[in-house]
Amino acid sequence: MFRTLLATLLTTAIAFPAAAQGDHARYRALYKEMVETNTSLSVGSCTALAAKVAGHLKESGFPDSDLHPFAAPDHPKEGGLVAVLPGSDPKARPILLLGHLDVVEAKREDWTRDPFTLVEENGYFYGRGVADMKSLDAAWVLTLMRLKEEGFKHKRTIKLALTCGEETSTAFNGAGWLAEHERALIDAEFALNEGGGGRLDKDGKALIMTVQAAEKFPQNYTLEVTNPGGHSSRPVKKNAIYQLAAGLTKISQYEFPIAINDITRTYFAKMAGQVGGEMGAAMTAFAKDPKDLKAAAVIATDPSYNGILHTTCVATLLSAGHANNALPQRADANINCRIFPGTTPEEVRARLSELVADPEIKVTLADKRSEVPKGPQPLNPKVFGPVEQLTAKYWPGIPVVPQMSAGATDGAFLTPAGIPTYGVSGMFGDADGSGAHGLNEHMRVSSVYKGADFLYDIVKVYANEK
Ligand SMILES: [Zn+2]
């Protein structure tokens, strides 16, 4: 069905301009500035980086009236920017390019290189945010600068929203704030966001291009045990730490039931041919029959695939006790769950509570990031068509497949506001996850430049779509 729609759409040929290689130096400078401007929640400032971006756009010819910096008064460092490049046809609906500027915390002492210096080494860029998602942010910004400078003629208005707070569920979220307070400013037929993109195999060969069209819902839970405590020289049977640890062990041994939807079924069916071997055979079998648990078990051996096979929950933070010579009065843990669409946060809470099987371990929802997003997005050929076309040009022969992300993005704030959001990115990450959120985050230099060229081209195609 999806293929047929695309085939019809793709009968209209579009001429693509040759990628302007000279812009790689410019891209690199922008990327470097973005990586080297610390935007972690603890000590960084998205507002500062948004201001630098606004300055560049201004130099490219954006009038102040098309630049909308924003920051909530109580979150002065978590601001962002909306930039508007008006199209010629008032009836053509805008497209929105969405990017988060903030990055996950990174400690210098844990990293091999300074996380806030863009290091190029052995064909890789290293630094916090080089993958998630300053490579894409820089591509969006440079695309807008170039289109403005080139006087590009386009029907649709192109909007860019750079926001903060995506990486920390408890932080002020700029995308959520825009959806609530500036809905008209960001209105679009659809938004392009992180979450999709290419995947390389371990030898760096392009395997697949994905378009994110669904995502799991992140939810944190607190497990807490309290106890009267006392002097550690006279231990008693009930100990908050042991009690919590016993509960956590039970959660660690549990696997949520295998689940499937149209997006993941199509994904596994298409991925099978690329992966081959035992894994490929398991994917084919599972796509045909989701009750084939043997096949699912093979797929689940890969953490990336396991993440889209079912709801997952994992302990991520632990805190207990108040002195090394006192019985703990309190022990708590954070369990981070990624909920498969169709299951509610409350159902998962109830399951965790059942698993720990101890009424003294309180299981509560720790936070609320956003409304539960709408289910899978429609497989809109207006979105997928240009990706198919340009992928065939840049990475001939690799399939384009819809994908569900195990991780969450700011799309979760836009879809409930009526802006269908898709993960479209030309960035190809390594099979190891590129160190995103972890240590020594990295992207292949060649992959970043090619991705930036792809994104420049694809925005031009979307901008003139009817
Ligand atoms: Zn991200």
Q: How many domains, in total, are found in the chain?
A: 2
| Rounded mean pLDDT, 105-134 | 96
Determine, yes or no, domain membership for 422: yes
Regarding whether 431 and 360 lie in a shared domain, the answer is no
Q: Which of 56-65, 70-79, 423-432, 454-463 has the lowest mean pLDDT?
A: 423-432
Using the mean position of ligand 1's atoms as its centre, give its distance from the Cα of residue 216 in Å. Answer: 14
Regarding whether 92 and 187 lie in a shared domain, the answer is yes
Residue 17 pLDDT level (bands cut at 50, 70, 90): very low
Using the mean position of ligand 1's atoms as its centre, give its distance from the Cα of residue 363 in Å. Answer: 28
Q: Among residues 330, 365, 400, which one ends one of the domains?
A: 365
Q: Give the CATH number for residue 173.
A: 3.40.630.10
Using the mean position of ligand 1's atoms as its centre, give its distance from the Cα of residue 133 in Å. Answer: 5
Using the mean position of ligand 1's atoms as its centre, give its distance from the Cα of residue 369 in Å. Answer: 15
Residue 72 pLDDT level (bands cut at 50, 70, 90): very high
Query: Is pLDDT above 50 for 8?
Result: no
Using the mean position of ligand 1's atoms as its centre, give its distance from the Cα of residue 132 in Å. Answer: 5
Q: Among residues 296, 330, 365, which one ends one of the domains?
A: 365
Using the mean position of ligand 1's atoms as its centre, give its distance from the Cα of residue 14 in Å. Answer: 31
Using the mean position of ligand 1's atoms as its centre, give its distance from the Cα of residue 325 in Å. Answer: 42
Determine, yes or no, domain membership for 290: yes
Determine, yes or no, domain membership for 371: no
Residue span of the structural domain in which 439 resides:
2-215+376-463
Regarding whether 222 and 211 lie in a shared domain, the answer is no
What is the per-residue pLDDT for 407?
Answer: 84
Query: Is pLDDT above 90 for 181?
Result: yes
Using the mean position of ligand 1's atoms as its centre, give its distance from the Cα of residue 7 in Å. Answer: 32
Peptide bond into 34 cis (omega under 30): no
Q: Among residues 310, 334, 365, which one ends one of the domains?
A: 365
C-alpha dihedral, 285 to 286 to 290 to 291, nearest 10°: 60
Q: What are phi and psi of 155, to 5 degrees?
A: -80, -50
The tens digit of pLDDT for each residue in 421-444 reads 999 999 999 888 888 888 999 999
The tens digit of pLDDT for each residue in 213-258 reads 999 999 999 999 999 999 999 999 999 999 999 999 999 999 999 9
**β-strand partners of 326:** 231
Using the mean position of ligand 1's atoms as its centre, give its distance from the Cα of residue 403 in Å. Answer: 16
Regarding whether 130 and 28 lie in a shared domain, the answer is yes
SS3 64: helix
Regarding whether 282 and 206 lie in a shared domain, the answer is no
Regarding whether 211 and 258 lie in a shared domain, the answer is no
Determine, yes or no, domain membership for 409: yes
Q: Which of 149-163, 203-217, 448-462 has the lowest mean pLDDT?
A: 203-217
The tens digit of pLDDT for each residue in 392-429 reads 999 999 999 999 999 889 999 999 899 999 999 999 99
Using the mean position of ligand 1's atoms as its centre, give its distance from the Cα of residue 97 in Å. Answer: 14
Using the mean position of ligand 1's atoms as its centre, give its distance from the Cα of residue 27 in Å. Answer: 19
Regarding whether 225 and 193 lie in a shared domain, the answer is no
Using the mean position of ligand 1's atoms as its centre, give its distance from the Cα of residue 289 in Å. Answer: 33
Regarding whether 228 and 209 lie in a shared domain, the answer is no
Q: Give the CATH number for residue 312.
A: 3.30.70.360
Determine, yes or no, domain membership for 370: no
Using the mean position of ligand 1's atoms as its centre, give its distance from the Cα of residue 301 in Å. Answer: 24
Query: Is pLDDT above 60 for 2?
Result: no
Using the mean position of ligand 1's atoms as its centre, give its distance from the Cα of residue 91 in Å. Answer: 32
Regarding whether 63 and 45 lie in a shared domain, the answer is yes
Contacts of 333 (CB under 8 A, 6+ apart): 222, 223, 244, 248, 315, 317, 318, 319
Buried b (16+ CB within 10 A) or exposed e, 194-227: bbbbbbbeeeeebbbbbbbbbbbbbbbbebbbeb
Using the mean position of ligand 1's atoms as its centre, give its distance from the Cα of residue 238 in Å. Answer: 42
CA distance 186 to 385: 23
What is the per-residue pLDDT for 7?
Answer: 39
Regarding whether 211 and 146 lie in a shared domain, the answer is yes
What is the per-residue pLDDT for 12?
Answer: 38
The tens digit of pLDDT for each residue in 299-354 reads 999 998 999 999 999 999 999 999 999 999 999 999 999 999 989 999 999 999 99
Using the mean position of ligand 1's atoms as its centre, give its distance from the Cα of residue 161 in Å. Answer: 14
The tens digit of pLDDT for each residue in 182-209 reads 999 999 999 999 999 998 988 889 989 9
Protein residues within 5 Å, CB atom, of ion ligand 1 = 132-133, 194
Using the mean position of ligand 1's atoms as its centre, give its distance from the Cα of residue 242 in Å. Answer: 36
Using the mean position of ligand 1's atoms as its centre, give its distance from the Cα of residue 436 in Å. Answer: 8
Regarding whether 181 and 61 lie in a shared domain, the answer is yes
What is the per-residue pLDDT for 22?
Answer: 56
Q: Which of 93, 202, 217, 192 is nearest to 432 (CA)?
A: 202
Query: Is pLDDT above 80 for 19?
Result: no
Q: What are phi and psi of 110, to 5 degrees?
A: -85, -25
Regarding whether 205 and 221 lie in a shared domain, the answer is no
Determine, yes or no, domain membership for 458: yes
Using the mean position of ligand 1's atoms as its centre, give its distance from the Cα of residue 42 in Å. Answer: 17
Q: Which of 1-15, 36-50, 62-76, 282-296 has the lowest mean pLDDT?
A: 1-15
Helix (H) or strand (E) holding 100: strand 95-100
